[in-house]
Amino acid sequence: MVILIVCLAALALTLVVGSIVTRSITRPMYELIRATTQVAAGNLEHRAAVESKDEIGHLARSFNQMTSVLSERTQRLEKLTDETLVTMAAAIDARDPYTHGHSMRVSLYADALAAQYGLSRAARDALRRGCMVHDVGKIGVPDSILRKAGPLDDREWSEMRQHPVTGHRLVSGLPWDRMVLDIVLHHHERWDGNGYPAGLAGE
């Protein structure tokens, strides 16, 4: 009888210890998996909260270090992208003396409105960048049309109305947010359907 009790006690102790050991392994693993999911979704500020000093803790620290490097490089890349867009916008506006600084002003106004409406930082960045390059298609419009002092004739107006399509074709191969491409293509559409190039209405 005593032997049976001792065996049962030993079994119970083994189960308790096993459960504790299992939890000490699985909890950090679940936290690391959760952190990986967050980073994969684009949240480069998230860090794995694993404090253990074993192999899992070492893996978590390496993961956090990698995420920090990714975050820093992404920020540098975004800064470079913005600087490139400013230069591109200035080059576009320089071709048309009537719209000097237009792209930058549109970008600033759009960002201010987006902030008032509570758009996310990512959406505001995409909106701002789209506005910076919305007239990039004017690169394909001849100076004789862009700089014409008087009204455009039908042929010239038809050519001018193609600049959103030209711009969309120029930027569609770049790894930009869909909003940027939509702004370039649709920035002359109107609610009443009288815009161009597609005559979209109520969208």
Is the Cβ–Cβ distance between 131 and 107 less than 8 Å? yes
Structure-block tokens of residue 167: 């711009």
Computed over its alpha carbons, how large is the radius of gyration of the chain?
29
Distance between CA atoms of residues 92 and 140, nearest Å: 10
Distance between CA atoms of residues 184 and 88, nearest Å: 14
Find the catalytic residue in 53, 79, 138, 148. 138
138 catalytic residue (yes or no): yes
Residue 166 identity? T
The H-assigned helical ranges of 49-197 are: 55-95, 102-116, 121-132, 143-146, 154-160, 163-171, 178-186
Residues marked as catalytic: 138
